[in-house]
Amino acid sequence: MTEHTLTVAGVAVDTRHWIGGRRVASAETFTDVSPIDGSVIGEISRGTALEAAAAVAAAKAAFPAWAATSRAERARILHAVADGVEKRIEELSIVETTDNGALLRSHRRGVMPRVAHNFRFFADWLLKLEHEDFETRGHTNHVSWDPAGPSVLITPWNAPLMLATWKVAPALAAGNTVVLKPAEWSPLTASLLADIAAEAGLPAGVLNVVQGYGSEIGDALTSHPDVRRISFTGSVPTARRIAESAAGNLTPLSLELGGKSPLLVFADADLDLAVDLAVEQYDNAGQVCLAATRFLVEESVAEEFTRRFVEKAATLAQGDPRHETTDIGPNIHPRQLEKIDAFVQRALAAGARAVIGGHRKDTQYYAPTLLTDVAQDSEIVQEEVFGPVLTLQTFSTEEEAVRLANDTRFGLAATLATADAERAERVTAQLVAGTVWVNCFFVRDLQAPFGGSRHSGVGREGGTWSFDFYCDVKNTVTAPNGWKNHG
């Protein structure tokens, strides 16, 4: 324990950066606050351009050896990281819940096992990554994936370690070295990941973690000429700034951004299933990029759907996310709560009606809200709220449903409830979305392409798509008689 260690529910967390295999403190700190009750967790190193440069330098220095490490050895170390995560699921879960307010039971049973799986999946995928050779007029084409270099990974607070490791694991598997910048509202589990990776034998400098405000440290990372890849998950305005900052070096970007995804409920749907899917949209207090926040319901079943939705939503327990029976926890920060409430109050002033909710509960919690009587071009239908706020509109034809579904600047996901397979196929083909779920929600396989269209993102990650992004993909063409002529 040092003066730079804080303790969360008995778990020691180092509050400094992790650079080149060493803990490094900044002169300044920022205060980390728990969304559960607004209490201060502790002071965290507040990175500057200095630490950003040091982290990129460490990643650059470690790159040649890590890139030259065999696929088998890289995979072995990634599995060792997964083992370390599995050993510390309980600790990671309580720290994450304290830091970002998401449900402890979800962290224990779903999220942290998934974090371990991120490492196992990309370790295994690396071992089978190949493209069949092919011939061109007798010449052989051979495709290979070369490690690209130091990669900057910038992540948000709504699922901190899950989203960080969904980038860290493939970047490391690809043979890249990493500088991870977690969100300033949830910095803690990234620090624990650094400990776990070091214990697992990941060489110094291969994974670096810098803490701090994106507005202060971001540019120094994203404009750095030694950075070969930037993968960002977060909001559209930040993505724009990162794209501008990366433009000087034409650094390739992967951007996973916001959404305003629809849930389309057709009259032929199993309404109980549709309501189950609808109520799920309050998960993580609505702070889910993929959330289907716009219900589009066929007119003939809208009343019945709403009745059952209200009934089901009333059974959700809101409160302390550490309690086993809680369904909806707090929102991340009082500032976020203000933002959510401002959206809702503007919508109500513009004529929307709150079927349920429509107000905050206190400084940390927002009442689960469903708004109707909302115009398609209104702010509440067009902009991402990122809180437990849903809207309901009706449609009378399939054509109208598709038109409304596609009529925002986003295109992250769409969910359909229908009993008609042909309709599902027809509608899906017309939807602008990176992921479409039919009669289900949030089923995510790591080998599937993941990303958004329009303002929901640029590029796809997942399975081979991740390696395509993190690597320099090379095609080698060998002449049939090359060895005789030049050997």
Q: Give φ, ψ of 485 to 5 degrees.
A: -70, -40
Q: To the nearest whole angstrom, how small is the minimum distance from the Cβ of residue 17 to ligand NAD? A: 14
Residue 246 sits in the site that holds ligand NAD (CB under 6 A): no
Q: What is the tally of helices (H) and strands (E) in the chain? A: 17, 22
Q: Which amino acid is at 114?
A: R
Encoded one letter per residue, x for contact with ligand NAD by CB under 6 A and - for no contact, window 305-344 reads: ----------------------------------------
Q: Measure the CA–CA gap between 102 and 95, rounded to whole angstroms.
A: 10
224 contacts ligand NAD (rule: CB under 6 A):
no
What is the smallest separation between the CB atom of 326 and ligand NAD, expressed in angstroms?
A: 21
Q: What share of the chain is helix, strand, coil (3-state, %, to 5)?
A: 45, 20, 35
The region of 71-79, 157-165, 188-196, 199-207 touching ligand NAD under the rule CB under 6 A is: 157-165
Binding-site string for ligand NAD from residue 340 to residue 379, where x marks contact by CB under 6 A and - marks none: ----------------------------------------
The active-site residue out of 96, 184, 256, 384 is 256
| C-alpha dihedral, 118 to 123 to 125 to 128, nearest 10° | -170
Least distance (Å) between residue 365 CB and ligand NAD: 18
Q: Is 103 in the site for ligand NAD (CB under 6 A)?
A: no
**Nearest distance in Å: CB 200, ligand NAD:** 24
Residue recorded with tokens 């990309």: 122
- The secondary structure of 91-130 as a DSSP string is HHHHHHHHHH---HHHIIIIIHHHHHHHHHHHHHHHHH--
Distances (CA, A) of 2 to 6, 16, 32: 9, 11, 18
* Smallest separation (angstroms) from ligand NAD to the CB of 207: 16
Q: Which stretch binds ligand NAD (CB under 6 A): 85-93, 139-147, 252-260, 422-430?
A: 252-260
Active site residue 289: yes
Residues from 159 through 218 that contact ligand NAD (CB under 6 A): 163, 181, 183-184, 213-215, 218
Whether 471 is a known active-site residue: answer: no
**Which tokens go with 217?**
């440290």
* Separation CA 131–CA 51 (nearest Å): 39
Distances (CA, A) of 111 to 116, 128, 328, 350: 9, 26, 16, 38
Measured from the CB atom, the residue of 14 and 256 that comes closer to ligand NAD is 256
Would you please indicate which residues are annotated as catalytic (active-site) residues? 256, 289
- Interface with ligand NAD (CB under 6 A): 154-158, 163, 181, 183-184, 213-215, 218-219, 222, 233-235, 238, 241-242, 256-259, 289, 384, 386, 412, 452, 457
